[in-house]
Structure 1
């Protein structure tokens, strides 16, 4: 009986907490210090907490009960309101801040070994002498080689406060070396690629909207304009959002006058409009925006505003459908509530938010359903009509309630990837093969000055394919009868991975985009517009 009661205790406590919130608290909004104004009267929650502390049969961790109760309470709200423990809050802040404190390497766990795949130029690790291809055996006294350690464990061991030192035991050319590295601030760009596709069209890919995104975007635009940019392909695919103000500032660079970009409104948040404030860097050039089912929140704010004003042509697949605005409210123990405070609406008044009344699981599984029911492949399968039409200044009709539906739909490639190739991708064989090919053949890439010249002069099917077939056979996978079309796709991916080792993400996308159907469709559209 006692064990059963202990199992149900967090749920019972959460129910008490919810009742206490409704009865004892009156939520009055965020204070300057991040707290709330509350009644001085003791609440049911506080009373229940004190009773449990004083009277419960066994000792209990009140902080754990509180955390569990808060999680249960947040589960009763919308899918994007969440409780963030201190460690999760720190990671969330780092992801959007544009920097973190660490040693400046990227690594890949291949089998049970952590391999360094990139060393930041002028970063702590380069200064300490680390190189691409080094294998990390130990971090301080913690052995990580030969063990199934998670990437989170490795990251937590390597990262630390600026100025502190970490000792890495490295295997290099069959030798063991111990290298001390002093941690420092490491930049994390949110703009991962920018280059000229041709003599007119530029390409910019935003990975997320962090605190430095607008600055990075403006620097890229200035650079590309000097190279002749008069048309732009802005890639927001898989961009899950971030800071709304960054998306608004970028929209301002495309829209003229004092046009409305977005407005927000909620039960406890009065309507607030966000309008253009300054002359933009690209108010009249041809513009296409690429989106997919993982483009969400701030990405939908930007693409929705440009679509509503007929400023850009949206290309790709229907976006995620997140039209809720969250704010982070710190709690006294270092945790926080990421709470939805309002909905956002596009300039025409469209709410992009998908329904979530069937629960969080159904809501999140919607993306997988799109792959299963054809919505990721065929435009006609998408249901975004919420019963209300919105007319743009140019006379086009748009709909809300289920994400941004692109003006030009480009479905996923219907040709299926073979189970053999999928297995090589998922078990790490593909990544392992390309990484070691790069380490052993770096001199082959030396003559190439750019990713495009590399793609034009290097033939992965001739140079790498047979070696890849032999490597796959070690995993008892036969690639002899792979169709030519699939072989070409895999070879393109190999080439893109190689380009990334030398030219980073920009090189990766320059090569990958040569065969990307969405990018090719956008470029073709710019030529005909």
Structure 2
């Protein structure tokens, strides 16, 4: 009966709404109980009830004026000190520089500089970059930026003046010492790459060399460009240098590992208390899965570097040479906060294919954790054989040859090469690391940049450039002002003096050919590189990993 339908609906409507309301209340009550124990991270960060209340009281009532932002940062840092050493808070003011390194570019004019006696000297000009297009040369000295003097300015201040919006212009006043004249020029800022591959070249007819300084968003692309170029030059074996590489993006490291290790092999996996096990597999035919491989590491090789070295070692794909790595096997996830800052929180651990964790212990506090390098130097780990023995670590086995490897303290190389020591080692290192040595060489280049410009390749420079006796007299005189005792010892020892001359050539090579030239020069006397070459060329390689 159609006429009765609206009446029936009116009867049932209140009852239906009542049932829905009761169910809603019950569900809401249960959900509230659940959420009180499972509060989302974003809500917890926003509330910070007690912390905010304390800061507000201090800000309002404390006897002296205080900076509330500083108090908050100190409080957050204090909280994180109770966690692992790699969970960190990044203030908003630091986010740009942190991001630039990993993203692989910034907006600027494309020069590298060095502060030489309060004056900014350009030590490298990016090829085809904004400054190169404006005619700026290595050896030029910056006097003014936009009509403001920069004599005596700090590195941080000059960087802020030279960087800016893409396409914006900056006016420079330059002194060109080799021509004894001042130039005025305008440079339009552009996108400047931050290269993560420092060097790639052929050491000999069959051995290539690639050095990676970090794993950024552009690293895999840079690596493949270098690898293809070396393969095109006849490379049959490779030295991959990861020394002093602090890590970076995991995906960049696994992508490179995929080019070196066969298909369907596990490269690394991650797992944490609140995160599921995630495997990273080799999934494509790599460009260099065959051919002898040496991976160079040291105490500065961390995180993604250790993952790559660990995968190579665990699959017996190559020989790891150098010194025990840093020992960072923790995965950080970044949480962006409302004020532009960020929290990098450790959420999982890395495990190499054999199942070992490379993270060294941090249960004795951050201070001891951060002093590890000094302790290793004192106990002889860096100048002799590694003191970390089987009792300190956990034993695992490689996948192919079932060699024993150890976890829990970084990657221990197959071949350990300690720091070189000599009768005058400490005096030599003081001179090599002194700003006086660098200043003298930079000043020489600045005055002779026109003559130096005849060298168009490292091979030509290496064959033709000679350090004159007069250059060594000038250098000795400069160093003696601050390092008289060290100079007297080093200059009396032919081997030590040879290292000084090599450093002079290396600095000049860097100014001519950027970092690629620098490493081609220093690698000639680098004991780790020389050890790697000996192993790749001899029978020792097959004895360690086969092939």
Q: Normalising by structure 2, what TM-score?
A: 0.85
User: 1:488 — aligned with what?
Assistant: 498
Q: Does residue 168 in structure 1 map to residue 190 in structure 2?
A: no
User: 1:502 — aligned with what?
Assistant: 512
Is 1:326–1:342's contact at 8 Å kept on the other side of the alignment? Answer: yes
Uncovered stretches (5+) of structure 1, i.e. residues with no partner: 1-22, 30-35
Is 1:24–1:44's contact at 8 Å kept on the other side of the alignment? Answer: no
Uncovered stretches (5+) of structure 2, i.e. residues with no partner: 1-34, 542-547
Distance in 2, Cα, partners of 1:296 & 1:39: 30
Aligned residue runs from structure 1 range 90-239, under 5 A: 90-140=96-146, 142-145=148-151, 147=152, 149-173=153-177, 175-239=181-245
Distance 1:367 1:416, change over 3 A: farther
Q: Secondary structure at the match of 1:471?
A: helix
User: 2:30 — aligned with what?
Assistant: none
Distance in 1, Cα, partners of 2:360 & 2:138: 44
Distance in 1, Cα, partners of 2:209 & 2:354: 28
Aligned residue runs from structure 1 range 412-431, under 5 A: 412-415=419-422, 417=424, 421-431=428-438
Distance 1:472 1:67, change over 3 A: closer
Distance in 1, Cα, partners of 2:468 & 2:404: 46
Shift of 1:304: 0.4
Q: Which protein shows a greater Rg?
A: 2
Shift of 1:178: 4.2
User: 1:400 — aligned with what?
Assistant: 407
Distance 1:435 1:60, change over 3 A: closer
Q: Secondary structure at the match of 1:351?
A: coil
Partner residue of 2:416 out of 409, 413, 416:
409
Distance in 1, Cα, partners of 2:40 & 2:333: 14
Please list the CA deviations of residues 433-472 of structure 1 after superposition, one character each: whole Å capped at 9, or x if unmatched: 2122223444655565532443244343657323322333
Shift of 1:242: 0.5
Distance in 1, Cα, partners of 2:50 & 2:513: 59
Please list the CA deviations of residues 461-487 of structure 1 after superposition, one character each: whole Å capped at 9, or x if unmatched: 657323322333455737454310100
Q: Normalising by structure 1, what TM-score?
A: 0.87
Q: Secondary structure at the match of 2:358?
A: coil
Distance in 2, Cα, partners of 1:96 & 1:361: 27
Distance 1:446 1:116, change over 3 A: closer
Distance in 1, Cα, partners of 2:436 & 2:60: 57
Q: Does residue 278 in structure 1 map to residue 284 in structure 2?
A: yes
Distance 1:371 1:495, change over 3 A: same
Please list the CA deviations of residues 502-529 of structure 1 after superposition, one character each: whole Å capped at 9, or x if unmatched: 1111111111111111001101101113
User: 2:523 — aligned with what?
Assistant: 513
User: 2:397 — aligned with what?
Assistant: 391
Q: Secondary structure at the match of 1:262?
A: strand
Please list the CA deviations of residues 227-250 of structure 1 after superposition, one character each: whole Å capped at 9, or x if unmatched: 001100000000010001100111
User: 2:320 — aligned with what?
Assistant: 314
Is 1:461–1:488's contact at 8 Å kept on the other side of the alignment? Answer: no
Shift of 1:341: 1.3
